[in-house]
A = this chain, B = another copy of it.
């Protein structure tokens, strides 16, 4: 049995059980506590550390829930084998943020594509507007709001979408919701589970999982240089297709106008719809922004999805979808029983933020910030790798793919980067058929959350790891 001696900090705000949990987790992750080792009994450790058994129990439960330890009735609690591979290359994301975080602690530079450059966010303005929202009409602000989201905000979103993304809609077509995954679930109900869905292969895994979890069939359709292969789509039985035309996720393809028209033509058939996820369409670095598919559509066949998670802040959880009239009427008839999921206060604050021009200013600033980061990353890769690596999809969005000419598998690339304390990401998770993808020497690098200095250093370390 392991001896745990550890000083709990009673002056610290952090609850004792979290301190204990973190300590043990660190011991396990570092390998100092080995798989199979038995933890002290709750009673013994409680006497030893002079804390309540309840504290010990809660810490052990947290460790167990996250898979660090396993408990056997009347035998005790044992350290489990923690598969480090799983943590960074699993097909699903790790089951707990703790693991992710603990994992992140070991990295110096993290090319995450989920992170954004928060240091440029106008915190003081947002705070001011939040406080203003808290004071305005306080009683209404605390009651349930409109089912589809606050009308004033939907109106600002409609205006923005028209001006900047060419989306043509009235505020009444917009439904606000707590994240794209939630909206995908709602959309599946509106469309109906009998529909056959298809999506890009590779494509956004969260959408694929959300669709499958709704019990619908999802056919993968491969990509060519211009995006989704229409011939393959035509051959499938799908009547709904999910695409990311502004910036294919993860390949970065910007779908040219000819392919867009072909896709719209495909949809011009009873019961067919296109789901256009414009998750980072705001950020394009070369040439003019390409208007949305929705804006090209005259037959009301496109469902447009957008989010403020990438372009503003992730934590307010505010996404939206624009429904064509036919689906909107199904929503009104059958699904208006669902309450709005986004905080009314945040909706009001965002409305003020948009109405007063802060949103436009913020977007413009972020475009410059990300353009510079993107350029820095591309330059660094060209400088350090030359012909030994090729960039895929670097003209838009907050990430790019790197194809390395060194015969390493995806896992080998990630692990050798890990040895240099640099975190890069797999692309195989985005494939329905991921086996082949795992053999490719391709990884994903996000640049939204790293500084230019980190980019320079990170790419240099990657060269040391890979060449």
A340:B317 contact, CB within 8 angstroms:
yes
- Distance to closest chain B CB from A454 (angstroms): 16
- Distance to closest chain B CB from A431 (angstroms): 15
B147:A97 contact, CB within 8 angstroms:
yes
Contacts A182-B182, A344-B315 given; does A67 touch B114 at CB 8 Å = no
Which one of A26-34, A133-141, A298-306, A407-415 contacts B?
A133-141
A333 at the interface (CB under 8 A from B): yes
- Distance to closest chain B CB from A3 (angstroms): 24
Q: Among A155, A328, A341, which residue has the most Cβ atoms of chain B within 10 A?
A: A341
- Partner pick for A341 among B155, B189, B341, CB 8 A cutoff: B341
A343:B341 contact, CB within 8 angstroms:
no
A146 at the interface (CB under 8 A from B): yes
Contacts A96-B336, A139-B118, A332-B67 given; does A178 touch B181 at CB 8 Å = no
B339:A145 contact, CB within 8 angstroms:
no
Q: How far is the CA of A189 from the CA of B142 in the complex (A)?
A: 31
Q: How far is the CA of A337 from the CA of B18 in the complex (A)?
A: 24
A338:B181 contact, CB within 8 angstroms:
yes
B182:A57 contact, CB within 8 angstroms:
no
Which one of A166-174, A356-364, A366-374, A394-402 contacts B?
A166-174
Which one of A58-66, A237-245, A249-257 contacts B?
A58-66
Q: How far is the CA of A141 from the CA of B127 in the complex (A)?
A: 12
CB neighbours of A18 from chain B (8 A): 151
Contact with B along A145-176 (1 / 0, CB 8 A): 11100011001000000000000001111000
Contacts A134-B127, A206-B337 given; does A145 touch B185 at CB 8 Å = no
Total residues of chain A contacting the partner, CB 8 A = 78
Chain A residues 231 to 286 lying within 8 A of chain B, measured CB to CB, are: none
CB neighbours of A213 from chain B (8 A): 189, 334-335
A193 at the interface (CB under 8 A from B): yes
A375 at the interface (CB under 8 A from B): no
- Partner pick for A337 among B61, B62, B93, B134, CB 8 A cutoff: B93
CB neighbours of A144 from chain B (8 A): 114, 309, 314-315
A15 at the interface (CB under 8 A from B): yes
Chain A residues engaging chain B, CB cutoff 8 angstroms: 15, 18, 57-58, 61-62, 64-67, 92-97, 114-115, 118-119, 121, 123, 127, 130-131, 134-135, 138-139, 141-147, 151-152, 155, 170-173, 178-179, 181-182, 185, 189, 193, 205-206, 209-210, 213, 215, 309, 313-317, 328, 332-346
A142:B121 contact, CB within 8 angstroms:
yes
Copies of this chain present = 2
B95:A336 contact, CB within 8 angstroms:
yes
A-B contact list, 13 entries, CB within 8 Å: A18-B151, A58-B170, A93-B336, A95-B332, A121-B142, A123-B138, A123-B142, A142-B315, A143-B314, A213-B335, A317-B340, A341-B341, A343-B343
- Partner pick for A182 among B67, B121, B178, B314, CB 8 A cutoff: B178
Q: How far is the CA of A139 from the CA of B179 in the complex (A)?
A: 20
CB neighbours of A118 from chain B (8 A): 139, 142-143
Q: How far is the CA of A286 from the CA of B334 in the complex (A)?
A: 39
A336:B178 contact, CB within 8 angstroms:
no
Q: How far is the CA of A173 from the CA of B172 in the complex (A)?
A: 39
Q: How far is the CA of A315 from the CA of B142 in the complex (A)?
A: 5
CB neighbours of A345 from chain B (8 A): 130, 315-316, 346
A172:B332 contact, CB within 8 angstroms:
no
CB neighbours of A64 from chain B (8 A): 172
CB neighbours of A206 from chain B (8 A): 337
Contacts A342-B317, A343-B317 given; does A146 touch B57 at CB 8 Å = no
Q: How far is the CA of A345 from the CA of B317 in the complex (A)?
A: 11
